[in-house]
Structure 1
Amino acid sequence: MRKSIYFPLILGLSACGGSNENAPSDPQKAASTATCSETSPGDLEISLPFAMRCYTESEYAKAVLIWKELEKSEGEAKWGIGKMYSEGFLGTPKPSTINGQRIAWDEFYPNSDLNTKDGNVRDNRVAKTYYEEALKMGYKLAGANLGEMYYFSKWVNDDVIVTERRDFYCNRHNMRNAESMTSETCKKAHEEIISRAWGVKKDINAAISNYTIAANIKYAPASYALGIIYSSGEEVDQNIEKAIFFYREAAVNGEADAIWNLSINYGHDTPNKDFVKSYALAVVAHSSVGTRTRDPVRVIETAMARLSISDLKRAEDMISDCIVDYDKSQPNRGNYKVNFESCEF
């Protein structure tokens, strides 16, 4: 994937941009004014907003209690439980034996993809089931989580790297333990880890299909992800027109990083090229809060060199529309706010 393109993870709550009916419930809309941490389990408000309040306060056990009460009727509750399996708060124990042979898991696969940053054990196999059930119940944001699982999965059929990695860990396990694993047990143990860690086999078409479900309800990170897929052209045919369409959708719905990627794509020498927008959006991205840019000066200077004085005037007008209280004398201040409603992406 191109180094100049950024891809915020969706599996967490790292990006919940956009305003739509399927966005996670607003914790502030809970009837109770109490914090989750100061509420005893028996007094929890059984509502989606309060469950999200518990989640945002890292009171995961309480969030799960509420979601479990609501999962039969609320797709968001299914989605929340799925997140808990994906993030490692909920999980299933690893089998102590496979094919009758003991597995020393910590030695077989230390610090593996199976573990979260907190050391918990994730199980995306179960998370996938909950996300799919959430979708069936109409909670379309879960499509973004499924899309990301299919897109980023390292579980690939007949992949030489995965096979070599499996054999490496099997050999180390056997050197450190008196009871050696057979090749068949080693394969099953490795598949147990890969299936839990990733949940699905890598499938770009399934990724696009699921991302599109979430993008259709104006969920900005899903639109951004589709922009990445079509602009990179690594697993599908590159399509700059589609990339620009989805980056624009993401930007309109509040995904700041899409501004920088739009600038890059407008600068390509394609039927969609727009060097005025490429320059203007590069300046907007470089000048504003919430966007990350790489080599901004080079990109801005390259774009400027393509423009006439009148083009630059148009670009400055566009920048003024895109940035709140923009000061032309301080274009690179870095702390401007983007006016997503008035900006012509």
Structure 2
Amino acid sequence: MLLVLIIGGSRFCWRIYRDLYLSRLTFSKRTLIIGAGSAGTMVARQLLKSKESDLQPVGFIDDDTKKHHLDIMGIPVLGGVGKIDAIVKKFKIDNIVIAIPSLSRKELNSIFKECAKTDAKTQILPMLEDLMTGKLSVNQFRDVQVEDLLGRDPIVLNDDKISEDITNKVVLVTGAGGSIGSEICRQIAQFNPEKLVLLGHGENSIYSIELELKESFRDSSIEFIPVIAEIQDAKKMMSVMETFLPDVVYHAAAHKHVPLMERNPEEAVKNNMIGTLNVANAASWHGVKTFVMISSDKAVNPTSVMGATKRLAEMIVQHMDESSNTKFVAVRFGNVLGSRGSVIPLFKRQIEKGGPVTVTHPEMVRYFMTIPEASSW
């Protein structure tokens, strides 16, 4: 018994010393946790137990005044969101973790504005659904993305109406490898079309979206059909329509980089105008029920080559709607967060390099929507 006590006791004492003392010596970043609820408590527990983490939880922030001045696992609740700046300076905080997975975008935006007043790096807990499904754990933080700061909750559409037009139908998407086109494909696939034709000229992007969709919807009966083709080829467009006879066509293929199209106006004309005319003619000729063209807000009183070509493409679609049995529709949107050609990636790179941020005008106001929102609309 004495031998067991000596051996077991020594190991127990070493473990206590290692967990409570040595592990704290490895901490390098003093961390403030926003949210003293169950998620925040889980974060603190994980950080205290994790041997790999270099984050030391120093305190909690919570707007619930009943929790102020309480200690949670030895970590004090220091105040509300309005005191973040002062607390960061007082306790020399290096890192801030927002640990409230159920936050709305407006609430997150409000909290992040307070965090942005400090020099501390701000990270956020994974989304609630990712935690519940086990995709991510509470100690896998990510940086706050621009998409998180939309300032409003995403708009939800009437899925039943959309389902009527897509379920068990043949759908063709041009520009399916692009940021908007690929998201349209993802959302269409959720409504179980019979076939989804992925048309684009970039073989790598079409290959990628095909693999992604087959993996994501492996249990469905959807047939994903990749087609490498140029919309400027009128004969090819006729052939594609004749082969697959789609019920609905989403035309997302276009050149949309404004400065590049200023330098290459003939390509903008060929792709945005002639390409649209080719796809629209082929759709009308083969009796497509609905044709949806993805346009741009730059088509409103256009001041650029890209905007002018998109406006003319809209006029083509409007004219064909008057003379065809196909229903032609054009939808405009512009500042889509995360899309290729969006100004946001440029701004992010400029900020990472320390500036300057090339804003066109000090009073410029931009209204943003996410890729899923844009694709849904």
TM-score by length of 2: 0.24
Question: Is the strand fraction higher in 1 or 2?
Answer: 2
Larger Rg: 2
Question: Bigger relative contact order, structure 1 or 2, given CA contacts below 8 A and separation 6+?
Answer: 1
TM-score by length of 1: 0.25
